[in-house]
Amino acid sequence: MRIIATVTVLALLLVGTVLHYVWELISIGAAYKAKILCSGVFVSMRTPEDVLHNDLGVDDLPILRALDAAIDRTTQTVSATFLGLIKQSAEYRPGLGCTLKFKGYKQPPLIHFDPTIDHVNTLQSQWPTTDSEADVTATIDQNLLDSAIDWAFSEPHPVRLRRTRAVVVVHRGQIVGERYAPPFDQHTPLLGWSMTKSVVHALVGILIKEGKLSLTDTVQAPEWPESSNGRSAITVDHLLQMTSGIEFDENYTNPLADVTRMLLRTPDMASYAANKKLVAEPGSQWSYSSGTTNILSRVMRRAIGNSDYHSFPHRALFQPLGMKNAVLEPDASGTFVGSSYVYATARDWAKFGLLYLQDGMWNGQRMLPEGWVRHATTPASSIQGNAFGAHFWLEIPDEYTSGGDATLLPQDAFHAVGHAGQFITVIPSRELVVIRLGLSRHASAWQHDIFLNKLLVALNN
């Protein structure tokens, strides 16, 4: 009888564990579907059918079709449900995009603002140029350039699809190459995923320039009491370099990893990340972490103050650059999801790349502190191979390379990189900014080093 009782208890525990795991998976899937569909419809202004078919029904995602989706254009909310048992919803707000809602969680009031109203005294949105168009195009082999862009939009593998959606090539201040896959165009805001982290680097730089933050500031967090096992020694620079020492599982193949739970199952992402334990002395080890960026987003919120926080990205960065369609979305707590959720058009992303190409200058005005681009491109001291700086990559991540051509790129190249093959590449020595946006759910489908080398040959560099 004891054996039977023990086996019964173990069986019940196993069944309960499996049911909990399945429940979590379905809840995550519903949250993902609600969030992506909401932003796709209300931020990118795409049709629901397009988002459902081309974003939420591809590769490893057809299982999401088992979830029913509903769009309420009156309340500007989107919900995804499974058999009426599990429901997740996302809400759209002008200027702030879409945010997941959580049952029982009381969202704080947000400061609403009209993103179409200028929040700066002088709006400098003119596209910067350094040479006449004729001078720039004279140095380009147009056939090779067209061939390189053809390669970007080609699909050589029947299963591992690239799904390139937008390419913009800026050389010496001029757009010399631009193409979109239907139905996208130059007016379509597209998700940058972790390219958002590089936007956060710029916003922190602006706050430092305004005297509201410094790199050496220690991070204050309610989750870190004085006896917080060393976490009180973490600085703003540790977060920017991703050397905080805080544990965080960034494994995208595990649907229950920290990164997925944080983005899709947590109303307060900064708090979720801050509650992770310290596993290394701050500054001693490098570990890529979306959680640290969201802690940094909350640091910015405290430095700015709630009354100006939600308009700050527009006032300080998007509007001066003329990134008219850019949106940085907050989580349910009101803190920006600095790790992942900027939507912007390909041309908007190109303007951001140009800001860093021009050492933080824009139309003769200094937007970023002197030396801030150098900060972004200085290797994090603890990273093997020096592949990462401060919220920018100094080398193309391995999953997006062919394995050989990446070493042929100019040494001063650096990149903002996002999930599914989003790239801003800046090469100062070649006066070049390259934007590639797409949905390469199989990372190996997009080989960014090959694309860049094709472009460099076309530009006679």
Q: pLDDT tens for residues 273-298?
A: 999 999 999 999 999 999 999 999 99
Confidence at residue 10, expressed as pLDDT on a 0 to 100 scale: 66
Average pLDDT over residues 16-44: 87
Cα 243 to its chain centre, rounded Å, is 19
**What's the CA dihedral at 428, 432, 438, 443 to 10 degrees?**
-50
Confidence at residue 123, expressed as pLDDT on a 0 to 100 scale: 43
| 202, part of any domain | yes
Q: Which of 126-130, 137-141, 342-346, 382-386 has the highest mean pLDDT?
A: 342-346
Contact 408, 387 (CB under 8 A): no
| 263, part of any domain | yes
| Helix extents (H) in 322-426 | 346-357, 372-376
Q: Are 94 and 145 in a shared domain?
A: no
Q: Are 358 and 221 in a shared domain?
A: yes
Q: Are 251 and 156 in a shared domain?
A: yes
Q: Are 194 and 95 in a shared domain?
A: no
| 83, part of any domain | yes
Confidence at residue 23, expressed as pLDDT on a 0 to 100 scale: 72
Q: Which of 108-122, 181-195, 391-405 has the highest mean pLDDT?
A: 181-195
Does the pLDDT value for residue 266 go beyond 80?
A: yes
State how beta strands 68-72 and 77-82 pair: antiparallel
Does the pLDDT value for residue 3 go beyond 90?
A: no
Q: Are 182 and 313 in a shared domain?
A: yes
| 37, part of any domain | yes
Does the pLDDT value for residue 253 go beyond 60?
A: yes
* CA distance from start to end of the chain: 80
Confidence at residue 121, expressed as pLDDT on a 0 to 100 scale: 43
H or E element in which residue 438 lies:
strand 432-438
Does the pLDDT value for residue 382 go beyond 90?
A: no
Q: Are 221 and 307 in a shared domain?
A: yes
Q: Are 180 and 72 in a shared domain?
A: no
Confidence at residue 110, expressed as pLDDT on a 0 to 100 scale: 72
457 or 107, higher pLDDT: 457
Among residues 100, 121, 146, the one where a domain terminates is 100
Find the CATH number of the domain harbouring 269.
3.40.710.10
Confidence at residue 225, expressed as pLDDT on a 0 to 100 scale: 78
DSSP state of 125: -
Confidence at residue 22, expressed as pLDDT on a 0 to 100 scale: 74
Does the pLDDT value for residue 168 go beyond 50?
A: yes
**What's the CA dihedral at 438, 362, 414, 134 to 10 degrees?**
70
| 151, part of any domain | yes
- Residue 441 CA to residue 61 CA, distance in Å, equals 10
Q: Are 64 and 170 in a shared domain?
A: no
Q: Residue 72: which domain range?
A: 2-100
Confidence at residue 383, expressed as pLDDT on a 0 to 100 scale: 61
Q: Are 218 and 322 in a shared domain?
A: yes
Please give the tally of structural domains in the chain. 2
User: pLDDT confidence of 122, banded at 50, 70, 90?
Assistant: very low
- Residue 185 CA to residue 335 CA, distance in Å, equals 30
Average per-residue pLDDT for the chain = 91
Q: Are 76 and 152 in a shared domain?
A: no
Q: Are 96 and 137 in a shared domain?
A: no
User: pLDDT confidence of 20, banded at 50, 70, 90?
Assistant: low
Q: Are 246 and 331 in a shared domain?
A: yes
Does the pLDDT value for residue 125 go beyond 60?
A: no
| 127, part of any domain | no
Token digits of residue 186:
């130059």
| 327, part of any domain | yes
| Helix extents (H) in 43-155 | 48-54, 133-137, 142-153
| 111, part of any domain | no
User: pLDDT confidence of 232, banded at 50, 70, 90?
Assistant: confident
